[in-house]
Chain A
Amino acid sequence: MFINWLVEPLQYEFMQRGMIAAVLVGIVCAVVGTYVVLRGMAFFGDALAHTILPGIAVGYLITGGARDTLFWWALGTAIIAAWGIGAISKQAEVKEDTAIGIIFAGMFALGIALISTVRSYAVDLSHFLFGDVLGVSAHSLWLIVIFGTLVILTIAAFYKEFLTLSFDPILAATLRLPVNLLNNLLLGLIAVTVAVSLQTVGVALMVAMLVTPAATAYLLTNRLPIMMALAAFFAALAGVIGLYLSYYLSIASGAAIVLTATAFFLLAFLWKRSKRN
């Protein structure tokens, strides 16, 4: 029966935790991702996610692979990397996307190099790259809840400032809003989101959680609050459906979530296309 089919995986505690983690991470990524999409920062998000790998690697080497402390290594590296990349974007010698490309590939390679010094590294490395949402501990889940809530509350508190800054930075400047502070705050929020999402989708698939649900919602509405709500809904739903697919088809959980989100995008895209013609 369908109910049994739905309930069966949830008898396992790791599935329950994984489900909650995927939904929460989906919501946080989608809301932050709305700004990533509107401001054209997809490449920045992708680069940022990859750039934290060496930080995770150092934490991994120092602690001998203790998962619960890795969050803090990821968070610290992500914040430094976000502001570092933000500063690099302002220099004039090398074009912005070229500079980001060089840094992100270099840092990613450094991360892989560090992790590969451990003999049985392959499994752990693949968890960092593609996520391991079914391995989320109760402790990690609390960190996700706390930091995810923090991100959402900050976005809500500075809603009108972020909106004004994203639509018309010159208006924000002439209104004397603290433009640099707000820009860095937004980069910081993306960094926290990356750290929060690490265990769910991993660094290599992170950009999908940031842009795909938000881009799906953008096809369906032209109001920002509705776009945020729809994006959160699609991301949460992708988390749930993805985990069922992962359970019943035995495919990697991070990939299953991202593929579900991608399917939503394709459906919305085709629906929009058919409506236009």
Chain B
Amino acid sequence: MYPHISHQKDKPILDVRDVSVRYDGRVALNNVSFHLHVGERIAVVGPNGAGKSTLFKVVSGVLQPNSGDVTISGSKPTVHSCIAYIPQRSQVDWKFPVSVADVVMMGRSAKLGPFNWPKKRDWDFVNQALETVEIGDLSKRQISQLSGGQQQRMFIARALAQEAELMLMDEPLTGLDTPAQEGLLDLLDMLRTQKVTVMVATHDLEQAAKHFDRIMLLNKKIVAFGDPENVLQTDNLLSAYGGRFRTVEGREGLLAVDDSCCDEGAHDHVH
């Protein structure tokens, strides 16, 4: 069997202590510490290059920090197979010759164990996950035939098939139209009942305030972390974004701030 470790229930699902990461001497994360409880939903916001993807890679155990510790329910991330990293859509080879169900089944590769082929029970699990994210009818489609919102749903289904308890989503809302964004956020609300802890990197402060328990304002270090009202203060935002933000009056009177920097890679087209 590939490693699977049982969780210590009294420990936070995620505990990050004094984590620093440097690439070629350049600081990507500086002394980051925080912890999350089971079932929490966190939005990670910050300008491009703030270290959001780096943080997710460290948390998932794919990248070793230069210093500091990460623990998942009391043990190192590298012994857990319950962390789902959902990539940015622009990082995925959509022409890869696989169906939606094939991709979701990949989430079960570890649970299946070496030399075992998926059995009916595993396909049932996959179909169930696809039903949960409301794309059960698309299971046989090649993945390039999905819309942006459906692509994100497929990856959430894959995380469910993986039996993920911590879901890290790298800018899932980027490039989606408003209805698709709202649908996805509703889906995340539903996941709350499954006790899945969710961290979402996003650019949209208004949605972050509306749909998440806590907001982490990140710019290499944690500028602020807590309730949306307390975090989204002008001085915090100025400190995280510097001069690179514009303020818009939000629908519910909330201050909405858009990282209006033009990052070509981040805004791919919707089908």
Binding site for B on A (CB under 8 A): 38, 157-161, 163-164, 166-168, 170-177, 218, 221-224, 226-227
Contacts and interface: CB of A to CB of B under 8 A. Distances in A.
A229 to B, nearest CB: 12
Given A174-B60, A176-B78, A223 B85 contact: no
Interface residues of B, number: 37
A227 B97 CA distance: 8
Contacts of A158: 114
A161 B113 CA distance: 10
Contacts of B78: 176
A164 B107 CA distance: 8
Contacts of B93: 38, 167
A157 to B, nearest CB: 6
A222 B93 CA distance: 13
* Chain A residues touching B, majority SS: helix
Contacts of A173: 60-62
B162 interface: yes
Contact of B102 (A172, A221, A224): A224
Given A175-B162, A222-B97, 10 more contacts: A160-B105, A160-B112, A160-B117, A163-B102, A170-B62, A170-B87, A175-B81, A175-B107, A176-B80, A224-B98
A167 B107 CA distance: 12
B179 interface: no
Contact of B97 (A174, A175, A223): A223
Contact of B62 (A163, A174, A222): A174
A77 B196 CA distance: 50
Interface of B: 2-3, 57, 60-62, 78-81, 83-85, 87, 92-93, 95-99, 102-103, 105-107, 109-110, 112, 114-115, 117-118, 142, 144, 158, 162
A157 B116 CA distance: 8
B106 A176 contact: no
B111 to A, nearest CB: 9
B115 A164 contact: no
A19 B181 CA distance: 58
Contacts of B3: 176
30 contacts: A38-B93, A38-B96, A157-B115, A158-B114, A159-B117, A160-B112, A166-B96, A167-B96, A168-B87, A168-B92, A170-B62, A170-B87, A173-B62, A174-B83, A175-B109, A175-B110, A176-B2, A176-B78, A176-B80, A177-B2, A218-B97, A222-B95, A222-B97, A222-B98, A222-B142, A222-B144, A223-B97, A223-B98, A223-B102, A227-B97
A177 B110 contact: yes
A152 to B, nearest CB: 15
Contact of A167 (B60, B83, B106, B162): B106
Nearest 6 interchain pairs by C-beta: A175-B110, A222-B142, A164-B106, A222-B97, A164-B109, A173-B62
Contacts of A227: 97
